[in-house]
Amino acid sequence: MLRHTGSARPATRPPMPRPDKTGDMYGLLHGLHPEIVDRHAKPGEIIAHEADLTGFFLYVVDGWIALTKSLEDGETQIIDILLNGDFALIAAKGAPALPYNAEALNTVRYLTFSEEMINGPEPGAAELRSHLAASVAVTQSRTAELLLRVGQGTAEQRICYALLEFYLRLEAIGQIDSNRFHVPMTQKQLGQFTGLSNVHICRTLRRFARNGLVRTSDRTDFDILDLDAVCHMAGVDLEALRAEIVLKQPA
Amino acid sequence: MLRHTGSARPATRPPMPRPDKTGDMYGLLHGLHPEIVDRHAKPGEIIAHEADLTGFFLYVVDGWIALTKSLEDGETQIIDILLNGDFALIAAKGAPALPYNAEALNTVRYLTFSEEMINGPEPGAAELRSHLAASVAVTQSRTAELLLRVGQGTAEQRICYALLEFYLRLEAIGQIDSNRFHVPMTQKQLGQFTGLSNVHICRTLRRFARNGLVRTSDRTDFDILDLDAVCHMAGVDLEALRAEIVLKQPA
DNA sequence: CGACCTTTTGAAACGATTCAATACTGGTGG
DNA sequence: CCACCAGTATTGAATCGTTTCAAAAGGTCG
């Protein structure tokens, strides 16, 4: 695991190997703005707080970031998860106010930049804008699919859906090893994603394991033993869901 | 109520009075494409089905439209409500697959158009694109706020939130009469919006009425009697929520 | 080592759903 | 005009899924 060097470095090329299949957004961005520095966050670290008034964009180079919202009493909902190659608009210009918090779920490498920085007529800027718009659109799709399960589904449906979302998205960035994958989230965070208590996440995952649906090991390693059954339980058509919630990799 | 004339009419100006404060998106669109015709839908009518493969945009001239998603067993979630002046992207180009259904909640007047139709270099097209992007952004904000309540809130919080969302958005289009407003949704549809059963919507609304929070009359007329209490119950700061979920009216 | 967080499991409590019966509403056709 | 029907709202009783509380075991880190 080659992570965590000193932060800044003015370069037009990434200072360390980038994960496969994230397109060349990183290169495009650095081409336009060599001054953009790599940033790092450790698990639990807040990347952007609602109090930030100036909207900005986030680009995830490597790692998991949760976009969250909280009720006054502290109850937190994870609205979307960002993975390698994902963009997010942390605060819109036209729609100014309280957006999400962004919290690192594991050790994350990311970039931040402002709208003006990609506003120009350069071809690279146009390509970035287009990719960014697509990224915002799939975020919307994912949030809607999640809302559907949280609003209408049982605990089992919600959890199966969450696992399938992770499965499809990790597959797209080459992080699935024969139905096994790593999810750097605690059961409490899975509960914040699915609208369930940590206790019920635990119970349901154990039931899945007993029934041969999904096996969990090392707290964060998942193995989908019966993909069809999991899809059926989540009410998911895998191909359709992939097309809807997974960002198409550019070029 | 002046609604429902014959449908088409090639004009650069709206064929009938438009509601106040929706900007001039209607005029802009007709200026670019005089061939776009007014469409109408009656309550319950499906405006766009998931099976539609070609993505298109929707512009609501007058009325309520629900964007919905359904589970295989038929359980339906309302993802967002569109009101006068709102745009929606019913199927993205970059993110192709299953988007929402759009269902008319009352008698609706609307326009549909494709991405290519506003792709041009004309100033009007640019203005439309910009407004449309803002509209998509507030839809995302509203969906996130809704997901927060549905995932983490009680029935009372969810319903108060829904009423406040309607309150703020109707206020922006001049349809609030001293805390009284009209919501053309059945209790079942309110349940599809908040992730609750129709029966529980009924019970909770009656409790609100008994406690002097909100009064309901004629099935669809709401009167917020104690705005502060409703905000507090929903965990909402009214000004912050307004800035976040209500589309800024152009010019 | 102790402090802290996470996972696991049981028991009790709670909130929301389901089922069911009644009443109310609006639209249709005889 | 009234009868009828389907959809909607209301209310009670029973049920169910999930949460809360609590206790214990395991992991991680200084």
Task: List per-block mean pLDDT (blocks of 10 residues) for chain A, which spans 251 residues.
Answer: 35 46 80 93 82 74 96 95 92 59 94 86 88 87 97 98 98 96 98 98 98 96 98 95 84 55
Of A71, A192, A195, Cβ closest to residue B235: A71
Query: Would you state the pLDDT for residue A105?
Result: 97
CA A110, distance to chain mean position in Å, is 12
C-alpha dihedral sign at A150, A155, A157, A162? positive
Query: Would you state the pLDDT for residue B61?
Result: 95
**In terms of C-beta density within 10 A (0-12 exposed, 13-18 middle, 19 or more buried), how is residue B29 classed?**
buried
Q: Which positions on strand C lie below 7 Å from a protein C-beta?
A: 5-11, 15-20
Query: Would you state the pLDDT for residue B4?
Result: 36
Side by side, the strands of the sheet bearing B214-217 are: B180-182, B221-224, B214-217
Residues of A in contact with B134 (CB under 8 A): 92, 94-95
- For residue B120, what are its two tokens? 């041009």
**Using CA atoms, how far apart are residues B95 and B117, in angstroms rounded to an integer?**
19
**In terms of C-beta density within 10 A (0-12 exposed, 13-18 middle, 19 or more buried), how is residue B27 classed?**
middle
Using the CB atom, is residue B133 less than 7 Å from strand D? Answer: no
**Using CA atoms, how far apart are residues B193 and B160, in angstroms rounded to an integer?**
12
Query: Would you state the pLDDT for residue A114?
Result: 85
Could you read off the pLDDT of A102-113 as tens digits, one per residue? Answer: 999 999 999 998
Could you identify the residue written with the tokens 């007014």? B38
Query: Would you state the pLDDT for residue A119?
Result: 84
Could you read off the pLDDT of A169-223 as tens digits, one per residue? Answer: 999 999 999 999 999 999 999 999 999 999 999 999 999 999 999 999 999 999 9
Q: Which positions on strand D lie below 7 Å from a protein C-beta?
A: 7-13, 17-22
**In terms of C-beta density within 10 A (0-12 exposed, 13-18 middle, 19 or more buried), how is residue A146 classed?**
buried
**Using CA atoms, how far apart are residues A133 and A116, in angstroms rounded to an integer?**
15
**Tens-of-pLDDT digits for all 251 residues of chain B?**
333 333 333 333 444 554 444 568 999 999 999 999 999 999 999 886 544 556 788 999 999 999 999 999 999 999 999 999 999 987 655 555 557 889 999 999 999 988 888 888 898 898 898 888 888 889 999 999 999 999 999 999 999 999 999 999 999 999 999 999 999 999 999 999 999 999 999 999 999 999 999 999 999 999 999 999 999 999 999 999 998 899 876 65
Using the CB atom, is residue A221 less than 7 Å from strand C? Answer: no
Using the CB atom, is residue A188 less than 7 Å from strand C? Answer: yes
**Using CA atoms, how far apart are residues A8 and A36, in angstroms rounded to an integer?**
8
- Are residues B95 and A147, on separate chains, in Cβ contact within 8 Å? no
Q: In the structure, how far is the CA atom of residue B14 from the C1' atom of nucleotide C14, in angstroms? A: 55
Q: Tally the C-alpha atoms within 13 A of residue B49's C-alpha that lie toward its C-beta.
A: 4
**Using CA atoms, how far apart are residues A114 and B235, in angstroms rounded to an integer?**
30
- Are residues A95 and B70, on separate chains, in Cβ contact within 8 Å? no
The set of residues, in sequence order, having a beta carbon less than 8 Å from that of B206 and lying 6+ positions away, is none
